[in-house]
Amino acid sequence: MSKSLKRVEEALRAAGVASDVVEMADGTRTAEDAARAAGCGVDQIAKSIIFRAEAKGDAVLFITAGGNQVDTAKASTLAGAALGKADADLIRAQTGFAIGGVAPVGHLSPIRAWFDPRLLDFDLVYAAAGTPHHIFAIAPQRLLELSGAILADFTR
């Protein structure tokens, strides 16, 4: 088992979340792939989008519905800094995850995060579990709480 996957499972267990992590044979690198694999709508996929806050150089997280796109102007306002592309090294160093498998929980270091209200329209959402091949199901309100994210409008 990968260290990343184990960290996500431990974070869920420590929070008392009874959610089985499921391995997807075809991978879940995109929201569409994950929705197909989970048998749900694309907006039920909780994407973890990471940007680099230019002022400090740290990573910031936007958890959004699979069909939505982050509006960088809105996101920059929320983050209080211009946002740029986060490279694989920054993402790995701060979260402990590789691109394509960034989970909304179980990060190596604390991360500032925001949460798309669209996800709250569902009873259940699915998120990456630390690898491009694993997902877990969770009630969106519980995911909001566990992620420590702030509910905000940042999509277009």
Encode 70-90: b = buried (16+ Cβ within 10 Å), e = exposed.
bebebbbebbebebeebeeeb
- Single pTM value for the model: 0.95
- How high is the mean pLDDT of the chain? 94
Residue 26 has a pLDDT of 75
Return d(Cα 127, Cα 104) in angstroms, integer: 7
Q: Which amino acid is at 49?
A: I
Q: Which residues of the chain have pLDDT under 70?
A: 27-29
Return d(Cα 151, Cα 138) in angstroms, integer: 17
